[in-house]
Amino acid sequence: MIIDAHCHIDMLPAPENYLMEMEQSDKVTIGMTNSPTHYLMGRPYFDGLRHSRLAIGFHPQLVSQINDELNTFVSCLDSTSYVGEVGLDFSADYLSTKSLQITCFEEICRNLKGKSKIVSIHSRKAEREVIEIIKRNEVSIPIFHWYSGPLSLIPQIIELGGYFSVNEAMTLSEKGRRIISKIPLNRLLSESDAPYNRKSNIISALSNLHIDNSIIYSNFKNLINTIR
Ligand SMILES: [Zn+2]
């Protein structure tokens, strides 16, 4: 069973076909959304599926357009065990919304406190702040998606019970490989980040890393057991 822990199914060219194909395949996908509205639109398509799940998201890059959807986010939380894509992005293009991003992410995490949810997190150039906020709010199962921050923070994330979903693009860059080498095998998951990632083949990623998929599958099973 191949695990795609971070895929934007709703942004693919033909999401419904993808979902049908996945049902016939040996792949499990967690579908990200960028806003609560997108989650609500997509949700009915996932009813009854065995291989695909839809997460409720609040993308930090869109925060100025969606900040009035925070209440919707909170009111939908109990309808899914999956959250993402959420987090912070302090790279140059999004620095202007830094304080609004923090306000929203803090509120999101406050609402995740005490809940067993699998949370896929974007942390570009904001890794320290993300760690601080999830720690303060005791967010139970954070998955750092496409982590690109300092190596020195990886042990803190592990200590918080965090996982890392890694993709083919990471396995092809020196920095990405260095990051992956610091992650304990039992905290590793695979992802595509399709369609935003040109190098998104999960089987190639695992073969580049010389990691057997059974390890990823067993990590994923452990995760799923925590939300049951
Ligand atoms: Zn993403």
Domains of the chain, CATH where assigned = 2-227 (3.20.20.140)
pTM of the model: 0.96
Residue 39 pLDDT exceeds 90: yes
Residue 96 pLDDT exceeds 80: yes
Residue 140: the pLDDT is 87
Q: What is the mean pLDDT of the chain?
A: 97
Q: What pLDDT band is residue 121 in, cutting at 50, 70 and 90?
A: very high
Distances from the Cα of 4 to the Cαs of 15, 69, 95, 105, in angstroms? 15, 27, 29, 24
Q: What is the DSSP letter of 131?
A: H
Task: Quote the ligand 1 centre to 57 CA distance (angstroms).
Answer: 10
Task: Quote the ligand 1 centre to 55 CA distance (angstroms).
Answer: 11
Task: Quote the ligand 1 centre to 210 CA distance (angstroms).
Answer: 24
Instruction: Give 48: exposed, middle or buried? Use CB within 10 Å, 0-12, 13-18, 19+.
Output: exposed
Of 76, 137, 95, 94, residue with least CA distance to 112: 137
Task: Quote the ligand 1 centre to 190 CA distance (angstroms).
Answer: 13
How much is the average pLDDT of 158-177?
Answer: 97
Task: Quote the ligand 1 centre to 46 CA distance (angstroms).
Answer: 19
Task: Quote the ligand 1 centre to 160 CA distance (angstroms).
Answer: 22
Residue 228: the pLDDT is 75
Task: Quote the ligand 1 centre to 7 CA distance (angstroms).
Answer: 7
Residue 227: the pLDDT is 87
